[in-house]
Amino acid sequence: MKNAPPKVVLAIGFFVGNFLSAAPADQGSLSIPEHRSSNILLELQATPAVINPSEFLKVFVGNIEKCCEGISPMAGRYLSSGAGITFDPAFDLIEGQNYTVMSRGRHATGYSEPTLTEFIIQPAVPTAAPEVIAMYPSADDIPENTLRFYIHFSTPMQPHLSTKFIKLVDAKGTTDTAAFMAFKQELWSEDRKRLTLLMDPGRIKRGVSQNLNLGPALQENNRYSIVVEDGWPSANGMSQAPRFEKVFSVSQALRTIPSTDSWQITPPRSLTLDPLVIKFDRPFDNQLSQNSIKVLSTNRQIIPGTVSVENHEKTWRFEPLHEWTNAKVVISVDSRFEDVAGNNFRDLLDHSVDSSIKTTDQHTFTVELKPTPD
């Protein structure tokens, strides 16, 4: 949830019945905010009965040079009232980030030409230089059909630059320019510190044209690097990240559906704060591991606690907020929980055409706690 979200407000020329007034379009004046909670106000002659406010106002992340073709506007909701059009962003504006406002009015014969205005919310305090602080999967050896990589930065970063700065390079130094999926809207976390890289599934799935023409992006028994080139600017544009390189080798592909029967459970002792530990039979998706497994009481109430993922995403550790009071607990696993190759408990990512998909939403099993020693 956002705290006191900033709002973008636009006031434009008015309608008379179903027709525009004869007054010429008024481009007005734009007031640029200086703080996260300030408004953006474009003052024109009057206010219309607006059917589609986004025809008059869009806000984009990034500077004017990168706006706006091929980039989706910021997510949020539009509210039309007598005061104009209010755009309520889905997430808080970020200090130091460049934004571009596209606005326009209307006249008797149609829309006026759009006007682009760039602004930035200056950070209240200097921010540290960005750097890559983690990359997942974290192991030095990963399956051939690994689906996702997560890159964690120390500070918010400027978006729409991943294709410029991120490369998959083989042991000979050759860059694979078709390894990753290209999206109009990059897959960033809300704070823009975590970027999700999705390998092109067409390079993973056997028998499809991409795989037949180009081959797998990662091939067993070979070594690769994911390189983040130096110079990627932080959200505030005041500093740049140094070069980062993750070198890894490739092992056999994971082509079996996960099963909790293959997991090793270390139960905690009753009346202690001992952790409950699960050792997986394979590496699972680091981000999904945070919320795909729940610990429940026998009457299906969630037991609060902290989750950590260790041992190169092969160990899941749960530390309870309070002492264990039950003799047994129930482990609930979301059936959509994926291993690093995108295989979940319902189906394989690279499945045959005639394979059936399981419909169970949850997998549950019971764990007996160890007795407290006398």
Q: How far is CA 286 from CA 159, 289, 292, in A?
A: 22, 5, 10
Whether 260-368 and 132-251 are alike in CATH topology: the answer is yes
Q: How far apart are the C-alpha atoms of 63 and 9, rounded to whole Å?
A: 20
Give pTM, 2 decimals: 0.70
d(CA 38, CA 99): 14
CA 188 vs CA 24, 90, 352: distances in Å: 42, 14, 32
Q: Which residues of 71-81 are buried (b: 16+ CB within 10 A; e: fewer)?
A: bebbebebebe
What are the φ and ψ backbone dihedral angles of 209, each rounded to 5 degrees? -60, -40
CA distance 186 to 191: 13
pLDDT of residue 9: 44
Burial (CB count <10 Å: 0-12, 13-18, 19+), residue 311: middle
Mean pLDDT (10-residue bins), the chain, 374 residues: 45 33 40 55 49 76 82 79 70 80 70 80 73 97 97 94 96 95 89 95 86 90 98 89 97 95 96 97 97 95 96 98 94 96 93 63 90 77
What span, in angstroms and rounded, lies between the C-alpha atoms of 224 and 82? 58
Are the CB atoms for 101 and 63 separated by under 8 Å? no
Looking up tokens 């986004």 gives 54
The reported pLDDT for the residue numbered 207 is 81
For the chain, what are the domain ranges? 8-120, 132-251, 260-368
| Residue 349 dihedral angles phi and psi, to the nearest 5° | -60, -45
Bond before 68 cis per omega within 30 degrees = yes
Question: Which of 126, 193, 121, 116 is CA-nearest to residue 153?
Answer: 193
Q: pLDDT at position 10, please?
A: 43
DSSP 155: S
- DSSP-derived 3-state class of residue 41: strand
Q: Does domain 260-368 have CATH number 3.30.200.20?
A: no
In total, the chain counts a number of residues equal to 374
Q: What's residue 325's pLDDT?
A: 93
Rounded Cα distance, 106 and 113, in Å: 9
Q: For residue 8, give the amino acid letter.
A: V
CATH fold, domain 132-251, is Immunoglobulin-like (2.60.40)
- Predicted confidence at residue 7, as pLDDT, reads 44
Residues 342/348/353/359 CA torsion (nearest 10 deg): -110
**End-to-end Cα, the chain, rounded Å:** 47
Return the pLDDT at 29.
Answer: 53
